[in-house]
Amino acid sequence: MTTLSPFHLAIPVNDLAAARRFYGELLGCPEGRSSGHWVDFDFRGHQLVCHLDEAAAGGPLRNPVDGDQVPVPHFGLVLSMTEWQALADRLEAAGTRFEIPPRIRFQGQVGEQGTFFVFDPAGNALEFKAFADPERLFASD
């Protein structure tokens, strides 16, 4: 696998304090720069910026993927299986509602992966996944 460059993603949120609790406290993302209208988070080496948009509301479309109705758009992280399970356990212990609970998708296939979906307080969908074989992240067969 090649070295990846950090991405920058800006998303709308309707409450900066709730975004700080979710991304900073619950997910453990260190906070970077901020103002009264936005806040940067270190999303595992990537720059995630939550921009205040008081009209922001969730309600993504959904597409079928291996028996689940996956919210679109969504973003997230690919973790190791150990990190993925630890995060799922931490979110469950915190009482987080899973849109799609933790499970193994594509069992026995090239893309076998652990996956789960949650929504942030502003309705942005996040997927966290881990591959049985991390080298198969982009494999097609």
Same fold, 8-52 and 61-136: no
Q: Which CATH architecture has domain 8-52?
A: 2-Layer Sandwich (3.30)
- Dist. CA 28–CA 15, nearest whole Å: 18
**What tens digit of pLDDT does each residue of 92-135 get?**
999 999 999 999 998 988 889 999 999 999 999 999 999 988 88
Question: In this structure, which CATH number among 3.40.50.970, 3.30.70.890, 3.40.190.150, 3.10.180.10 belongs to the domain 61-136?
Answer: 3.10.180.10
Cis peptide before 73 (omega within 30 of 0): yes
What does the domain layout of the chain look like in residue ranges? Answer: 8-52, 61-136
Q: Which two tokens stand for residue 124?
A: 């942005």
Q: What is the pTM of this model?
A: 0.84
**What tens digit of pLDDT does each residue of 9-42 get?**
999 999 999 999 999 999 999 999 898 999 999 9
Q: Where are the beta strands (DSSP E) in the chain?
A: 8-13, 31-34, 38-43, 46-52, 61-65, 68-72, 75-78, 98-105, 113-119, 125-131
